[in-house]
Amino acid sequence: MHTTLRPLARLRTLLAAGCCAALGAGLLAGAGTATAEEPGPAKAPAARSKVVGYFTDWGIYDRQYFVRNIETSGSADRLTHINYAFGNVTDGKCVLGDPWADTDKPFTAEESVDGVADTAGQALSGNFNQLRKLKKLHPDLKVIWSFGGWSWSGGFGEAAKDPAAFARSCHDLVENSAWADVFDGIDIDWEYPNACGLTCDTSGREAFPELMKALRAQFGKRALVTAAITADATSGGKIDAADYAGAARYVDWYNPMTYDYFGAWAATGPTAPHSPLTSYPGIPQRGYDTASTIAKLRSLGIPSHKLLLGIGFYGRGWTGVTQAKPGGTATGPAPGTYEAGSEDYKVLKERCPATGTVGGTAYATCGAQWWSYDTPKTIASKTAWKNRQGLGGTFFWELSGDTADGELIKAIK
């Protein structure tokens, strides 16, 4: 689940952007041969394991996390790809998510990647220009524009009615001449096709593969086309609701969101780690762990190299807990800086250090609070598991949750 929490001061601007920003702004995967009308992903030689980190456009506000921080933390040296979140989907089209943050905001010298301040009247400002500067420092770094997310997935149902028109709008936006050099492809974060997220989609099981097919046809073989997908491995769950295997032939890789399995939306508990690698005795729901998710996706015929391991750079927690170990009752979500029940790793490592591990991830108790999150040690273990499974790499949500010196991303590498 990728949330789009934004400062209230920007809400009206963002809502306005949704309607007019476009002006400024199971089949076996891989079975069969892509045709000229149905091109597959680019056939590249074997590459090093991918490390994909999300950068959120709203992070430049309250969080004060700029593209510059990707450089100063050392993260840029370790990333292979950045997913820029999020573009919006409305009226069946891809549109800018926050025009001010994306293309307009002038950054000071202290905020800028290269230490050079933006000037009035320059052709492109905002995060896009900062990403351009970052790529000049790191020529091998790729940037993918991600559309949708938890808050903005409601527009995909309309888009699915005319996939070709949707794909054209996305291509026209991503490849806009003002910033075409910034982006290397598109990522679709539809939560969730033919299932319920913030809203419920009823577009049918074939809507997702048809959408991805249209995007691949429009973007061609050279561009990256990826998707963040559900991690619900339960029988009859969200993976079963859409034909992810049928769509896999059109994507370079999937990002299964193997986090947020459990959280304080179940206000009274039981407490459980939000990102377990494996099941464990007493887990509240079978099929809610990374190993089960990957196993189910592979059982559909999706090849391992098209699946990335998902890691959260944050924790989820409860307050009013009754016991230190998982499985206790609670009274509600623990307080968080930006969202109740959620907190960045960089805060939790100091405020509520890990006291134990379960299911391959860490948990912590401090006073009446119970938190779960990944640490450098559990990330190293997860990475080793990923390597044994032959997965294509690792992705994480999101960069601003790490420490100033990139403690978590270092553990991935």
pLDDT-derived band of residue 47, with 50, 70 and 90 as boundaries?
Answer: low
Cβ contact 137:113 at 8 Å: yes
Distance between CA 259 and CA 275 in Å, rounded?
A: 4
pLDDT of 25 = 30
pLDDT of 119 = 97
Distance between CA 311 and CA 260 in Å, rounded?
A: 10
Is 191 annotated in the active site? yes
* Range 8-34+46-257: architecture per CATH: Alpha-Beta Barrel (3.20)
pLDDT of 60 = 98
pLDDT of 46 = 41
Distance between CA 121 and CA 119 in Å, rounded?
A: 6
Q: What's the pLDDT tens digit per position in 247-258?
A: 999 999 999 999
pLDDT of 147 = 98
11 pLDDT above the threshold of 60: no
16 pLDDT above the threshold of 60: no
Which one is catalytic: 111, 191, 343, 398? 191
Residue 364 bridge partners (DSSP) = 371
pTM for the whole thing?
0.90
Domain range list for the chain: 8-34+46-257
Cβ contact 274:262 at 8 Å: yes
Distance between CA 158 and CA 49 in Å, rounded?
A: 35
Q: What's the pLDDT tens digit per position in 326-373?
A: 999 999 999 999 999 999 999 999 999 999 999 999 999 999 999 999
383 pLDDT above the threshold of 50: yes
- Phi and psi at 396, nearest 5°, equal -145, 150
Distance between CA 328 and CA 262 in Å, rounded?
A: 13
